[in-house]
Structure 1
Amino acid sequence: MSSRARILQRLRDRTDGALVPPESDFSVMTGRGWGVQERLERFERLISSVHAEVIHTRQASWTETLAEVLTAKAVRRLALGHEHPVPAEARAALHEHEVDLVDANRDIEAWQREQFETVDAGLTSTGGAIAETGSLWLWPTPDEPRLTSLVPPLHIAVLDAETIEDTFFDVVEAHEWSQGMPTNALLISGPSKTADIEQTLAYGVHGPRELVVLIRHREEST
């Protein structure tokens, strides 16, 4: 019997009954009561404070805004998926644009060097955002693997304004994460950053040096 099996067996053979999780009070983690506009303003203020760039756009014309960003940032090679509506719409809109659309839904071993050395930016959808911390949350899939947002020097994330929620607890509850967690759920609060022993914060040391958040608004909310 392995060490793991022995430990689990000892837990099953407890003589004082089954383990019962204690009751927990989660009220401090939720119940902020912010409205849609306040959530949006808090999110933008906090994520902008850590060097992310926020650009507002309309749902119907967001790909035009994306094209402008790619031109302004001199992006020549953009990694993105195929199946999710965000990369699918981007591909349809950019097919005549002067940018090479790089397939992200490939085995990493097949294009690792390419991804680390020649891709200028990665485009991803988002599951939503958290107003309290100014964070995006992403649920990676084979179509939009996590390295698309973690490796290229520029990460462009597309966020729908109505998907911003108050707290991380509210996200977990609303989307029933307890019923099926992904292998990786990513929380992104700005471009990559690190601090040395003197607590001096540096940006862009590893991973994306820039984060651009395209916030899409429905026509009636703009």
Structure 2
Amino acid sequence: MSHARNAILARLRDAKPEAKVMETITYQPWISQDQQLLTERFIASLSASHAEVISTDVAALSSTIEKIVVTKALKQIALGSSGEFHEQIVQATALLKTHFFDKDIKDWKSALFNDIDAGITHCQAGIADTGTLVLWPDIAEPRTLSLIPPCHIALIKKSTIVSNFAELMIEQAWQNNMPTNIVLVSGPSKTADIQQTLAYGAHGPSQLIVILIENM
């Protein structure tokens, strides 16, 4: 055993490492400065991943959420404790049984996993290239809101959509303000682990509804 080990170590010591030739990167991220093209690609990519995208403006935001509540027959909903459109969200869900994420999860864990129909969150940005929502969870809107309820309703401003992920990091200067937690969402939760059959909702929401606020 000792002889074999010494032989292996000797070969390693005698080996002359060769510099690896740098590989040519062939992938180039999709880029556009045209806001209409950005929006169209963003919507098309999300739709291809079985997300529902509904366009509205800020004046009609509450009524848009109300229509979703009726269409999806939602009865109990989980919300954060603040956010840019928090007032409109609260107004639109006033007739539902609302659970605000302002208490320890241990105090309402059973309701969260068994009774909540949907969670509503704001989005930090959108990536047109891949149809991705960018969420920055915090104490006001924990990531649980987007991961546990069977339906995730996400609000995003059209003005926050960028071409690709690299552009997003540069535009928002992540090197100076790196998020401690980030969630990237490109559609409902899905898996094909079992018999290669695609199934939705195995590891998260089975429905993703994106409300695109056009005039913001």
Return the TM-score normalized by structure 2: 0.82
- What is the distance in 2 between the residues matched to 1:138 and 1:169? 16
Give the one of 115, 120, 124 matched to 1:118. 115
Match of 1:178, SS state, is coil
Equivalent residue runs for 1:46-195 within 5 Å: 46-95=45-94, 98-195=95-192
Task: Give ranges in structure 1 of 5+ residues lacking alignment.
Answer: 1-24
Match of 2:39 in 1: 40
Work out whether residues 30 and 170 of structure 1, in 8 Å CA contact, stay in contact via their aligned partners in 2.
no
1:4-38 Cα offsets, whole Å, 9 max, x none, are xxxxxxxxxxxxxxxxxxxxx99966671341000
Distance change (3 Å), C-alpha of 1:67 and 1:172: same
Match of 1:205 in 2: 202
- What is the distance in 2 between the residues matched to 1:135 and 1:88? 25
Give the one of 184, 193, 196 matched to 2:193. 196
Q: CA deviation at 1:172?
A: 1.0
- What is the distance in 2 between the residues matched to 1:30 and 1:46? 14
- Deviating more after overlay: 63-72 vs 169-178: 169-178
Work out whether residues 120 and 152 of structure 2, in 8 Å CA contact, stay in contact via their aligned partners in 1.
yes
The structure having more radius of gyration, on CA atoms, is 2
Work out whether residues 79 and 101 of structure 1, in 8 Å CA contact, stay in contact via their aligned partners in 2.
yes
Match of 2:154, SS state, is strand
Q: CA deviation at 1:200?
A: 3.5
Letter in 2 for 1:189: S
- What is the distance in 2 between the residues matched to 1:85 and 1:179? 23
Identity of aligned residues (%): 38
Could you say what the CA RMSD is over the residues aligned between the two structures, in angstroms? Answer: 2.1
Equivalent residue runs for 1:24-39 within 5 Å: 32-39=31-38
Letter in 2 for 1:65: T
1:104-157 Cα offsets, whole Å, 9 max, x none, are 232222222211111110000001100000100000011100000000000000
Q: CA deviation at 1:182?
A: 2.6
Return the TM-score normalized by structure 1: 0.80
Match of 1:177, SS state, is coil
Work out whether residues 86 and 124 of structure 1, in 8 Å CA contact, stay in contact via their aligned partners in 2.
no
Q: CA deviation at 1:92?
A: 3.1
Task: Give ranges in structure 2 of 5+ residues lacking alignment.
Answer: 1-23
Match of 2:19 in 1: none
- What is the distance in 1 between the residues matched to 2:174 and 2:55? 29
Q: How many residues align?
A: 193
